[in-house]
Amino acid sequence: MILLSCRDLTMTYDGAVAVEHVSFDVEAGDVLCIVGENGSGKSTLLKGLLGLLPVKEGEVLYQNGLRRDRAGYLPQQTPVQRDFPASVWEVVLSGCLSRKRRGPFYSAHDRARAESALDRLSIGDLRRRPYRELSGGQQQRVLLARALCATERLLLLDEPVTGLDPVVTAEFYGLIGRLNREDGVAVVMVSHDIKSAAGISTKILHLAKSVLFFGSAEAYRASETGRFFLEGRAHD
């Protein structure tokens, strides 16, 4: 069942092409990993899927009852965002805002969603802590909980493990894998470290403005593009 189709998508910044003729589908059950060098258009593509940046050509179609405002998003983090002065509870609850039709006020239903997201990611005990004082791994869990408030069906995660050590990275992928398998959430995840994501990825989209490869993770590993990229990074 297709949740999202991206058809011949082209995106530009002031005329400079950042994403070119990109087509792929996201299906229920997928963990799609988007890989590519810095500047290859990964973050731009995610923002295009979410309607946060305009699309020059092509289209993004949400299907089978999924709506764009029912996708959960974890943006690529900047140092300023890591210093955000709010409590964990406030950060998680703010994930409900994307679903809102009217008004800035949270409903009992919103609070219940935030509660269940905290629970699901085992961070209920952090709820009163200032977000900025948490470790990198805890902060990413909080942002994942925030993204979960928006969705039951599709998470879009932009470099969710960058800067985390290998143990915390493995834990974080474990959480994502569980959300996928146990809760049936499809995942689109940007990573520049494909090897650590390989365990939970079912499909790979290799981007270099345009699509170098799109297909199963298995086919990617056997492909020339995949072998070159994986071996080229073997000594990182």
Residues 6+ apart with CB under 8 A from 40: 207, 208, 209
Single out the residue of 217, 224, 213, 222 nearest to residue 195, CA to CA: 217
Is 75 a binding residue for ligand ADP by CB under 6 A? The answer is no
Spell out, one character per residue from 11 to 30, where the chain touches ligand ADP: x when CB under 6 A holds, - when not.
--x----x------------
Distance from C-alpha of 19 to C-alpha of 15, rounded to nearest angstrom:
11
**Binding partner selected for residue 77 from Mg ion, ligand ADP, none, CB under the kind-specific 5 to 8 Å limit:** none
Q: Interface mask (CB under 5 A) for Mg ion, residues 64-83, using x and -?
A: ------------x-------
Check binding of 40 to Mg ion (CB under 5 A).
no
Percent composition of the chain: helix, strand, coil (DSSP 3-state, to 5): 40, 25, 30
DSSP character string of 200-226:
T-SEEEEEESEEEEEEEHHHHHHSHHH
Pick between residue 124 and residue 136 the one whose CB is nearest to Mg ion. 136
Binding mask 35-64 for ligand ADP (x = CB under 6 A): -x-xxxxxxx--------------------
- C-beta of 150 vs 207, nearer to ligand ADP: 207
Closer Cβ to ligand ADP, 36 or 226, answer by number: 36
Going along the chain, which residue ranges are E strands?
2-13, 16-27, 31-35, 57-62, 71-74, 154-158, 186-190, 203-208, 210-216
Q: Does 43 interact with Mg ion (rule: CB under 5 A)?
A: yes
Task: Catalog residues that contact Mg ion under the rule CB under 5 A.
Answer: 42-43, 76
Task: Catalog residues that contact ligand ADP under the rule CB under 6 A.
Answer: 13, 18, 36, 38-44
